[in-house]
Chain A
Amino acid sequence: MTASAATGPTLVVDDLRTHFHTRAGVLKAVDGVSFTVDKGRILGLVGESGSGKSVTGFSILGLVDPPGRIAGGRILFNGEDLATASEQRLRDLRGNRIAMIFQDPMMTLNPVLRIDTQMIEALQAHQKMDRKTAFARARDALGQVGIPSPEERLRSYPHQFSGGMRQRVAIAIALLNRPDVIIADEPTTALDVTIQAQILFEAQKLCREVGTALIWITHDLSVVAGLADEICVMYAGRVVEQGPVVDVLDQPLHPYTHGLIGSVPSRNRRGRPLTQIPGMAPSPLSLPAGCSFRTRCPRADAACALPPPMAELLPGRHARCIHPHLEAVAA
């Protein structure tokens, strides 16, 4: 465990804006995202594909490739702003204090390097350590994520593992340096449901035990429901609603969240038709002015042509909407 000097939240993302300067125009993949993650807490970052959730993750690590770049906002990690940090400083933090797990375990490990090489280099990049110690650490990390006979498996190549096992290896690599924050970008999407459940369980356990702050990026509300403490719903590069996961899922305030939840099949609404959000997510190059959801929103009216502010509508509950679903709460 590292002692983080600051007593405040581990990670504060404040009005982050990541823009891609393409030939067709400026693409605002992330446009004013704010959230906070505390030690030992899990934040679920939810949204459809293209909503900017992965770009948010990469922005935190400073891994946005050109033509994208962070155009504004702050990323405070233990009080230090990463948005303006040097590449050298970011490299020190990456994989060390802030780790990331990717979506597709079949693609994240280098196919031609053995697992031990890929694990040991992650340790040696950040601390002076001889190969033997590093090997022992790697072995322990593999054991920790539930890989049987880790010593032997370390000498294997990625293709000798199944998808679920590979994702465990990737998680083990993320855990190696005992980071303060882990950003998990849809790490279970490509896996079987049973394996997904195991990995979710282990992620949660690790988080609680070690006190790591976890950002879990997903499009799957059911994953967030069982895992996260807080939820941030993103739409077209913006956070449209955030709050404690139970409250948000029970009583969504923003029409988009409402629609999203309505489109998930669930047992207690069996027999009733699934609702769906009309239309398609707008192109990030031509977002409607004002509320970017208004073209698909059943509640939209002329007032929505002005950008709605993020407001605390209920205690601890924020949403970016001027016609929120408050009637259910009032009743």
Chain B
Amino acid sequence: MTVFLIRRLMQAVVVLFAMSLIVFVGVYAIGNPIDILISPEADQLERERAIHALGLDLPLWEQYFVFLQRALTGDLGRSFAFGAPALQIIVERMPATLELAVAAMGISILVGIPLGMWAGFRPESFGGRAIMAGSILGFSLPTFWVGLMLIMVFAVHLGWLPSTGRGETVEVLGLQLSIFTWNGWTHLLLPAFNLALFKMALVIRLTRAGMRENLLMDYVKFARAKGLSPGRVIFVHVLKNIMIPVVTILGLELGSVIAFAVVTETIFSWPGMGKLIIDSINQLDRPVIVAYLLITVSMFIFINFVVDILYSVLDPRVRLKEMKS
């Protein structure tokens, strides 16, 4: 197990390194950092000085080295728009995004798994077909448009829920969270549901496919031949087999939920990282863009790493294989 962990950790470091290179080349080499980092009003002398100060006169590989060195010490540059360290600006907005993402994930699991199980158990029934039709719709609905429709129906027409911003927050373990206040929930519900919709469709499909596939397996018939109740066969034997792929894929999807929060946050004016990156792209606030990309990528690698471990814990077959190798 330790060998497995170390190997995965090393892979993660390599990926992170590669990504930093890509982001660096993308932003600093393809784009012209001089135009972006230096005020257009600066005169020639000021420009020269700034170029030197920023190290832009160095060869590219040296620039990368400097960039990497500074990145490792947590210095990802200062935002032009906020005049504050990019890293700090992003970290401040991270809890809001994570809260939204986790809430969306929770909704998609709580709704998706039961629906998917039903659809897989009775694929020909009206309910089963309706659930599947719903999941195709869930896949096809563009997230941003659904967001607009949710606002239109629940905020504008019915006036039940607020359409923008985050509600009251409470500080828990140093994080500003809104799930502990009623007002916070009312603000969270629409964006979380919006973000959950796509994953819900995915969960439904995965669960349904797993259900259908597993129900045909001999082990199900054998379990029934043992005289087990249908409840035990489905909720213990089949569900445990389904959960392995579902949990793995969902874990991997957590990253994608965080990334897709970009859209939801923009629509609902949710003050998270996603709204920040869109604003930054529009304002060409490159240090923030770079910082966002690096942080998101690191988060991704971390999530993938955790999922890998989780997967091996869940599936006894993988556990053994990995330990042997």
A and B touch in the complex (CB under 8 A): yes
Q: Which residues of A contact B (CB under 8 A)?
A: 58, 61, 63, 91-96, 99-100, 102-104, 107-114, 118, 121-122, 125-126, 157, 159-160, 170, 173
CB of A112 within 8 A of CB of B316, answer: yes
Give B residues with C-beta under 8 Å from A. Answer: 217-219, 221-229, 232, 236-237, 240-241, 244, 314-317, 320
Besides the known contacts A113-B236, A122-B226, A159-B317, 10 further A-B residue pairs in the complex with CB atoms under 8 A apart = A63-B221, A94-B225, A100-B225, A102-B222, A104-B218, A108-B218, A110-B241, A112-B244, A157-B317, A170-B222
Known: A102-B218, A107-B217, A107-B219. A121 touches B226 (CB 8 A): yes
Chain A residues with Cβ below 8 Å from B228 are 91, 95, 121-122, 125
Pick from B227, B236, B241: contact of A94, CB below 8 A. Answer: B227
Give complex CA distance A92, B224 in Å.
11
Contact between A109 and B222, CB atoms less than 8 A apart = yes
Summarize B's interface: helix, strand, loop or mixed. helix
Interchain Cβ contacts under 8 Å between A and B, 26 examples: A58-B221, A63-B221, A63-B225, A91-B229, A92-B227, A95-B228, A96-B227, A102-B221, A102-B225, A103-B218, A108-B222, A110-B223, A110-B241, A112-B240, A112-B241, A121-B226, A121-B232, A122-B227, A125-B226, A125-B227, A125-B228, A125-B229, A157-B316, A157-B317, A157-B320, A170-B222
Q: Residues of B contacting A107 with CB < 8 Å?
A: 217-219
**Which A residues touch B236, using CB under 8 A?**
113, 121
**Which of B221, B223, B225, B244 has the most A CB atoms < 10 Å from its CB?**
B225
| CB contact between A111 and one of B219, B221, B223, B229 (< 8 Å): that residue | B219
- Indicate if the CB atoms of A159 and B225 lie closer than 8 Å: no
Residues A111 and B218 in contact in the complex (CB < 8 Å), given A92-B227, A95-B227: no
A121 CA to B229 CA, complexed, in Å? 10
Chain B residue at minimal CB-CB distance from A126: B227
Q: Considering residues A61, A108, A110, A122, which has the most beta carbons from chain B within 10 angstroms of its beta carbon? A: A110
CB neighbours of B223 from chain A (8 A)? 110, 118
Determine the residue in chain B with the shortest Cβ distance to A170: B222
| A-chain residues with CB within 8 Å of residue B240 when the two chains form the complex | 110, 112-113
Contact between chains at A160 and B226 (CB < 8 Å):
no
Residues of A with C-beta under 8 A to B314: 112
Contact pick for B241, options A111, A118, A126, CB 8 Å: A111
A91 to B225, CA, bound (A): 8
For the complex, what is the distance from the CA of A112 to the CA of B222, rounded to whole Å?
14
Q: Are A63 and B320 in contact (CB under 8 A)?
A: no
Q: Which chain B residue lies CB-closest to A156? A: B316
Rounded to whole angstroms, the CA-CA distance of A15 and B316 in the bound complex is: 46
Chain B residues with CB under 8 Å of A103's CB are 218
Q: Is the pair B222, A93 in contact by a Cβ cutoff of 8 Å?
A: no
